[in-house]
Chain A
Amino acid sequence: MQAKKRYLILLSAGACLILLFCLGGIQVPLSRRGPSRPHDRRLSGYGPGARWRHMSGYLQPFSSWEQDRSDDLTEHISPRQKRDANSGLYTGKRCRMESCFDFSLCERNGFKVYVYPQQKGEKLSESYQNILSSIEGSRFYTSDPGQACLFVLSLDTLDRDQLSPQYVHNLKAKIQSLPLWNGGKNHIIFNLYSGTWPDYTEDLGFDIGLAMLAKASISTENFRPDFDVSIPLFSKDHPRTGGEKGYLKYNTIPPYRKYMLVFKGKRYLTGIGSDTRNALYHIHNSEDVVLLTTCKHGKDWQKHKDARCNKDNAEYDKYDYREMLYNSTFCLVPRGRRLGSFRFLEALQAACVPVMLSNGWELPFSEIIDWNRAAVIGDERLLLQIPSTVHSIHQDKILSLRQQTQFLWEAYFNSVEKIVLTTLEIIQDRVLLHTSRSNLMWNSLPGGLFTLPQYSTSLRDFPFYYAELGIKPPSKFTAIIHVVTPLVSQSQPVMKLLVAVAKSQYCAQVIVLWNCEKPLPAKHRWPATSVPVTVIEGESKVISSRFLPYNTIPTDAVLSLDEDTVLSTTEVDFAFTVWQSFPDRIVGYPARSHFWDSNKERWGYTSKWTNDYSMVLTGAAIYHKYYHDLYTTYLPASLKIMVDQMSNCEDILMNFLVSLVTKLPPIKVTQKKQYKETMMGQPLVPLNPSCQGTKQNSPSRWADPDHFAQRQTCMNKFASWFGAMPLVHSQMRLDPVLFKDQVSILRKKYRDIERL
């Protein structure tokens, strides 16, 4: 017992001692900290622990209400005068839209771009020619300078390096003599290279006046925000339209590639911009970080050669640039002589996340692109931290950076046309300030070029952002029935169709588009339905009018129908529920396919029953109303006129457009089986008489042998305008969950689809 007691006492005493030690132990280093760094803390007599603490006592507010207002009231200068004063004050390097741009030119005709006619004897580089033809092919182009809001020179200003063979002499005099120059007001000047050895200034060698610059390798110092546009440096081989796809074909998880960080390029040894590349060898480890430089460039490189050159050059030759590019997670993009380099676009296309080492470079399209989503912005001063920085980036982040490089590459960079259109759209957003795109529209799929703010500035009105905004797709559709034959009997297919569609629980309205030359039938001749039926006359009775963005369409979803389509209410209901899951795509019934005909070296069109498809006919399809707007405004007049003249191919064009935007195939849903002929791709020829004088619009067009040949031609015409084939194949058909399953038909919700 005594022993136990003693033990207990010892134990408690020990516990107390530990407790004391702990409290004291924490305190000891704390009290030591002050004196150990005396000079840190002795700044102007501040003692240790000079921690900011909330001050008590009465403090005045920073501004008193009366005083602030009196400031505003004493302003005697008229705001109008002030604005006028600005435009005189802020010119040249301080130009902004407010001071150097005449907005009034854009008010009457909207955002129109004029290109000066090419002067005789004036040579244009291939790149500049591509820029000009991209503008001329765009919907912004006008040939009338009186309508123009923006002017583009036909003098090649791309290469302003005096030592370059492309350099245009006497530019100053040539520009000054232009009658519309107007001091450069509302002009945009494209430039890729400026300055020359040894200092590579950003001066163009002529007075740009009040003109805007769309320039590559521009520095933040010279960049006039919201006035200039930073464009990427692109090579003369950059395709004019279409453009190559990104390299990424599928995602890999984990997202690491063979190398972590690579670079292969010239090293300049001396002069401007040489420091960064000269220092790269510090972080090169020839394992996961492979940074290779060569001293070989120019004729007299041997003269400047340093101690490392021979070793570096040997190492440089051992690696293949392409192999490294496609097998690295990150790609270093260090500045060269100029701030921007070809490496940037190369890395972007190769899905190799660019690691920028180019201090002060205003990145391409920085006004609208959030580069932190697709690149790592490094600091030349912190080169040695780069390996640990890239290693610290989480897998998820790498995966998302990599995908974003591909999105940006295809959305804004892969052709001269995209670069030019992006530049113009950026300026348009500034001019039409209250209908400009939000950051989200520019930085998420499908990108700013396909998101036209003139349609709506609300994200909810587009089919692309439902998930992002966390909202459900719309719950109603509007049916548009395209009618080209006169009403003769109540048993005409269009009557049945109208009744069946109107019965759908998701139908909000039926619009009959009267594209027949005969006068509109009396109202009572249309069947009575529970939803409103509106009849509108097609504009000049052309087939494209079925895709006009009518104000009378109250819903976001459109069910587009041909008058001879046979559909049941159940089929419509099912297709609409499918569309709600894929609101950005075309969801419909009869499908067609395209293929590459290698014998004829052209695209082929087939309506045969095949195991895959790439188009869904818009004679019976649901899609988002936005595509009406895009069809009408985005596509060039030439294609629409071609479609109207043939009264054919409008559905192919719509499929091209939607696949171009989504990069995905349309969706075919299952259809109740009909006559054998219909199934074999030869739809029924209605026996109704056609509208007189509208031979082209005749529904019998399907039977016309020319019809099919026309569609082949269309395919190839479209593909050449788009610069590539946007259609994507699919092998999938969406059926109701229990479709043709061995269960009682009574358990099936969409049982009518299976009944013949």
Chain B
Amino acid sequence: MYTSGKYSSRGPALIPRMKTKHRIYYITLFSVVLLGLIATGMFQFWPHSIESTADWTLDKRSVHDAPLIRLPVSSPIPERGDLSCRMHTCFDVYRCGYNPKNRIKVYIYPLQRFVDELGVPISSTGLSREYNDLLSAISDSDFYTDDVTRACLFIPSIDVLNQNSLRIRETAQALAMLPRWDKGMNHLLFNMLPGGPPDYNTALDVPRDRALLAGGGFSTWTYRQGYDVSIPVYSPLSADVDLPERQPGPRHYFILSSQTAIHREYRAELERLKEENGEALLLLDKCSNLSQGAASARKRCYKGQVYDYPQILQESSFCVVLRGARLGQAALSDVLQAGCVPVILADSYILPFSEVLDWKRASVVIPEEKLSEMYTILKSIPHRQVEEMQRQARWFWEAYFSSMKAIGLTTLQIINDRIYPYAARTYEQWNNPPVVKWSSVNSPLFLPLIPPRAPGFTAVVLTYDRVESLFRVITEISKVPSLAKLLVVWNNQNKSPPEGEKKFKCPECTAIDGLSLDQTHMVERSECINKFASVFGTMPLKVVEHRADPVLYKDDFPEKLKSFPNIGSL
């Protein structure tokens, strides 16, 4: 009895010593449990695929299995975008509701393939790689909801990033067929390459009712301030090329122009600048001897000399970003990635995310007409600022340009900030690179106020058991005219606080008075400082060599005429 009793208390060790009958019993029991678990696991996935086969195929995640929708010719077309739309007129805030997280919910329509009656798709590319990345990033984010009834913002899975690949009328019809379209209310479209020949509109030409447009290449005439979002044109080089961040500082070239399709008028202007200023300018063009294709996108030439693009961008302080047929240029992204300060010459262009980003700290905007003065203008910029802008440019790329995810989530955050303005991200959060966020000091009491004496101050006295010195402090401090209140924090668990004017005899007080000189005390405090500094990640304390004294402190001057004669008399 004794031994088994001892074993039973040990639990599992018991099993090998058990009788066969018991062992079988246990094995059966565990198999049952195991089977049960497996069954539960199966049950979790099984019912879904039975309920909806359509969904199952979607889960296989192939574009070609998406349901095909045929658009009737007579299918309604939305109205052209209304230029007067603003959040308070064209956006339904009631769908966003009040929530403690102050975060909008975003729904993404499932993928469908739209074709016209003849079976021709509405888009030549269908779902692009970038739009797929964008939608996936949103669906993985906190904004996402799969519950259409809780959504505040709707994103169609119809890819309109590039207008060139779209059939305008049919795309518009497809949008209007979306089940929650409702005149485009609370719908968000992403477009990076708007317009088409010959006049290249600066906003997507697809009629879209009241839908919000996140567009790359808005001009001041098409951008509905506070409603649309201006986004960058994504550059595929962001993902393909790894350009390590370089320390800000002067570069080999002063100005670099690397775009290949510059209008001949402007190219002539740049050539003239090059003649005047020589080596400081590097004027690149595409390489005539290289075959077309992806490889040629990564090379630039000047008089037969071949340069790697975008690496060459890192060799210049300033990089020209000129408008082309469109205002938005993917080159802007490459330039920022290289930490080169963009010189933007695109009149009326609304810079990406200009609602929240302070481009004046990261770029130089010059009117197209002043292209010929570019060199002089850039030379007038102080070195310090060039360095600041180089750092800022790279940070903008990292945070807001580097991936479709960054672009998509920034767009949603901007819309979120409009709906919950009191919880909006601050200027500092948007614009300060991490290195500044860490080192910058922002006092919560930033207003320079010199408070009047009237409200006085409250004295808070922390005490343990040195009652005598406590009374001394109280007596002295209560003589101060500005004292409004005196608060004693009694920290002694063994004694209750003394009442009234009763005085305690405290024999050990004098002994403890020497506490601050105690060696172990100092060691402890040093340890504290080290611990705090490691938790803060930095040493926030600053050393100064000055001390504040009254103006006439220790001056050879009649004491009775001094405001604070007793200071330092101890």
A residues in contact (CB < 8 Å) with B: 1, 4-5, 8-9, 12-13, 16, 19-20, 23-24, 27, 31, 34, 37, 40-41, 43-57, 59-63, 65-80, 83, 86, 90, 94, 96, 98, 103, 220-221, 225-226, 248-251, 359-360, 370, 372-373, 376-377, 379-382, 385, 388-389, 392-393, 396-397, 399-400, 403, 406-407, 433-434, 436-440, 443-445, 456-461, 467-471, 574, 577-578, 581, 591, 609-613, 662-665, 668-670, 673, 679, 728, 730-737, 739-741, 749-750
B192 at the interface (CB under 8 A from A): yes
When distances are taken between beta carbons in the complex, the residues of chain B under 8 Å from A669 are 546
Name the interface residues of B342-386: CB closer than 8 Å to any CB of A. Answer: 347-348, 358, 360-361, 364-369, 377, 381-382, 384-385
The 3 closest A-B pairs by CB, nearest first: A470-B439, A47-B52, A72-B261
Q: Contact at B449–A250, with CB atoms within 8 Å? A: yes
User: In the complex, what distance in Å separates the CA atom of A71 from the CA atom of B198?
Assistant: 9
Q: Contact at A459–B440, with CB atoms within 8 Å? A: no
Given contacts A61-B128, A461-B384, contact A439 B63 (CB under 8 A): no
The 8 A CB mask of B179-221 against A (1 = contact, 0 = none) is: 1100000000000110001111000000000000000000011
When distances are taken between beta carbons in the complex, the residues of chain A under 8 Å from B249 are none
Q: Contact at A51–B424, with CB atoms within 8 Å? A: no
When distances are taken between beta carbons in the complex, the residues of chain A under 8 Å from B445 are 251, 399, 403
Q: Contact at A434–B377, with CB atoms within 8 Å? A: yes
When distances are taken between beta carbons in the complex, the residues of chain B under 8 Å from A1 are 1, 4-5, 8
Q: Contact at A40–B440, with CB atoms within 8 Å? A: no
When distances are taken between beta carbons in the complex, the residues of chain A under 8 Å from B323 are 79
Given contacts A250-B452, A359-B88, contact A49 B197 (CB under 8 A): no
Instruction: Give the contacting residue for A732; candidates B422, B426, B549; CB below 8 A.
Output: B549
User: In the complex, what distance in Å separates the CA atom of A736 from the CA atom of B168?
Assistant: 76
Instruction: Give the contacting residue for B59; candidates A53, A460, A574, A673; CB below 8 A.
Output: A53
B446 at the interface (CB under 8 A from A): yes
B139 at the interface (CB under 8 A from A): yes
Q: Contact at B550–A393, with CB atoms within 8 Å? A: no
Please list 28 pairs of residues, one from A and one from B, whose beta carbons are closer than 8 Å in the complex, sorted by A's number.
Answer: A12-B29, A16-B32, A31-B47, A37-B149, A43-B180, A48-B48, A52-B108, A55-B127, A59-B132, A60-B128, A62-B125, A62-B165, A71-B200, A75-B198, A77-B198, A83-B369, A96-B221, A248-B449, A370-B427, A373-B426, A389-B422, A399-B444, A399-B445, A406-B447, A467-B443, A468-B441, A468-B442, A577-B545
B33 at the interface (CB under 8 A from A): yes
Tell me the smallest distance from the CB of A354 to a CB of chain B, in Å. Answer: 12
B551 at the interface (CB under 8 A from A): yes
Tell me the smallest distance from the CB of B428 to a CB of chain A, in Å. Answer: 8
Interface 9-residue window, one of B35-43, B462-470, B519-527, B529-537 = B35-43
Interface 9-residue window, one of B155-163, B272-280, B500-508 = B155-163
Tell me the smallest distance from the CB of B38 to a CB of chain A, in Å. Answer: 11
User: In the complex, what distance in Å separates the CA atom of A69 from the CA atom of B286?
Assistant: 10
Q: Contact at A62–B444, with CB atoms within 8 Å? A: no
When distances are taken between beta carbons in the complex, the residues of chain B under 8 Å from A393 are 422
When distances are taken between beta carbons in the complex, the residues of chain B under 8 Å from A591 are 551
Extra contacts, 7 of them, besides A23-B44, A407-B447 (Cβ < 8 A), are: A71-B324, A249-B449, A372-B426, A445-B447, A578-B544, A578-B545, A664-B450
B119 at the interface (CB under 8 A from A): no
Given contacts A461-B384, A733-B549, contact A250 B451 (CB under 8 A): yes
Q: Contact at A376–B568, with CB atoms within 8 Å? A: no
User: In the complex, what distance in Å separates the CA atom of A98 from the CA atom of B347?
Assistant: 7
Tell me the smallest distance from the CB of A238 to a CB of chain B, in Å. Answer: 22
User: In the complex, what distance in Å separates the CA atom of A729 from the CA atom of B455?
Assistant: 19
Instruction: Give the contacting residue for B93; candidates A49, A71, A79, A379; CB below 8 A.
Output: A379
Most buried by A among B5, B139, B221: B221
Q: Contact at A735–B162, with CB atoms within 8 Å? A: no
B72 at the interface (CB under 8 A from A): no
When distances are taken between beta carbons in the complex, the residues of chain A under 8 Å from B193 are 62-63, 68, 71
User: In the complex, what distance in Å separates the CA atom of A16 from the CA atom of B384?
Assistant: 68
User: In the complex, what distance in Å separates the CA atom of A749 from the CA atom of B546?
Assistant: 11
Q: Contact at B132–A737, with CB atoms within 8 Å? A: no
Given contacts A61-B130, A379-B93, contact A373 B427 (CB under 8 A): yes
User: In the complex, what distance in Å separates the CA atom of A445 from the CA atom of B358?
Assistant: 17
Tell me the smallest distance from the CB of B272 to a CB of chain A, in Å. Answer: 15
User: In the complex, what distance in Å separates the CA atom of A460 from the CA atom of B388?
Assistant: 9
Tell me the smallest distance from the CB of A449 to a CB of chain B, in Å. Answer: 16
When distances are taken between beta carbons in the complex, the residues of chain B under 8 Å from A41 are 148
Q: Contact at B382–A51, with CB atoms within 8 Å? A: no
Name the interface residues of B451-501: CB closer than 8 Å to any CB of A. Answer: 451-452, 455
Tell me the smallest distance from the CB of B167 to a CB of chain A, in Å. Answer: 16
Nearest residue, chain A, Cβ from B452: A249
Tell me the smallest distance from the CB of B477 to a CB of chain A, in Å. Answer: 19
Q: Contact at B36–A52, with CB atoms within 8 Å? A: no
Q: Contact at A459–B161, with CB atoms within 8 Å? A: no
The 8 A CB mask of B43-56 against A (1 = contact, 0 = none) is: 11001100110110
Q: Contact at A73–B261, with CB atoms within 8 Å? A: yes
Given contacts A71-B325, A379-B88, A399-B444, contact A54 B110 (CB under 8 A): no
B146 at the interface (CB under 8 A from A): yes
Tell me the smallest distance from the CB of A610 to a CB of chain B, in Å. Answer: 7
Q: Contact at A51–B551, with CB atoms within 8 Å? A: no
Instruction: Give the contacting residue for A436; candidates B132, B225, B262, B360; CB below 8 A.
Output: B360
Nearest residue, chain A, Cβ from B378: A434
When distances are taken between beta carbons in the complex, the residues of chain A under 8 Å from B348 are 86, 96, 98
Q: Contact at A735–B546, with CB atoms within 8 Å? A: yes
User: In the complex, what distance in Å separates the CA atom of A382 from the CA atom of B92?
Assistant: 11
Tell me the smallest distance from the CB of A263 to a CB of chain B, in Å. Answer: 18
Instruction: Give the contacting residue for A48; candidates B55, B162, B236, B293; CB below 8 A.
Output: B55
Q: Contact at A57–B62, with CB atoms within 8 Å? A: yes
Nearest residue, chain A, Cβ from B32: A16
When distances are taken between beta carbons in the complex, the residues of chain B under 8 Å from A750 are 545
B226 at the interface (CB under 8 A from A): yes
Q: Contact at B358–A438, with CB atoms within 8 Å? A: yes
User: In the complex, what distance in Å separates the CA atom of A613 from the CA atom of B551?
Assistant: 8
Q: Contact at B422–A9, with CB atoms within 8 Å? A: no
Instruction: Give the contacting residue for B52; candidates A48, A96, A392; CB below 8 A.
Output: A48
Name the interface residues of B55-86: CB closer than 8 Å to any CB of A. Answer: 55, 58-59, 61-64, 67, 84, 86
User: In the complex, what distance in Å separates the CA atom of A407 from the CA atom of B448?
Assistant: 9
When distances are taken between beta carbons in the complex, the residues of chain A under 8 Å from B225 are 220, 225
Q: Contact at B146–A50, with CB atoms within 8 Å? A: yes
When distances are taken between beta carbons in the complex, the residues of chain A under 8 Å from B304 are none
Given contacts A60-B125, A436-B360, A461-B384, contact A24 B40 (CB under 8 A): yes
User: In the complex, what distance in Å separates the CA atom of A535 from the CA atom of B36?
Assistant: 95
Q: Contact at B358–A55, with CB atoms within 8 Å? A: no
When distances are taken between beta carbons in the complex, the residues of chain A under 8 Å from B364 are 434
When distances are taken between beta carbons in the complex, the residues of chain B under 8 Å from A60 are 125-126, 128-129
User: In the complex, what distance in Å separates the CA atom of A673 from the CA atom of B130?
Assistant: 74
When distances are taken between beta carbons in the complex, the residues of chain A under 8 Å from B263 are 72, 75, 78-79
When distances are taken between beta carbons in the complex, the residues of chain B under 8 Å from A47 are 51-52, 54-55
Given contacts A77-B198, A372-B421, contact A457 B130 (CB under 8 A): no
When distances are taken between beta carbons in the complex, the residues of chain A under 8 Å from B552 are 609, 611, 733
Tell me the smallest distance from the CB of A692 to a CB of chain B, in Å. Answer: 39
User: In the complex, what distance in Å separates the CA atom of A468 from the CA atom of B427?
Assistant: 12
Interface 9-residue window, one of B250-258, B393-401, B555-563 = B555-563
Q: Contact at B292–A66, with CB atoms within 8 Å? A: yes
Q: Contact at A577–B139, with CB atoms within 8 Å? A: no
Q: Contact at B48–A49, with CB atoms within 8 Å? A: yes
When distances are taken between beta carbons in the complex, the residues of chain B under 8 Å from A19 are 33, 37
Given contacts A63-B193, A581-B546, contact A460 B384 (CB under 8 A): yes
Q: Contact at A668–B551, with CB atoms within 8 Å? A: yes
B294 at the interface (CB under 8 A from A): yes
Q: Contact at A54–B88, with CB atoms within 8 Å? A: no
When distances are taken between beta carbons in the complex, the residues of chain A under 8 Å from B302 are none
User: In the complex, what distance in Å separates the CA atom of A372 from the CA atom of B109?
Assistant: 33
Tell me the smallest distance from the CB of A28 to a CB of chain B, in Å. Answer: 10
Tell me the smallest distance from the CB of B220 to a CB of chain A, in Å. Answer: 5
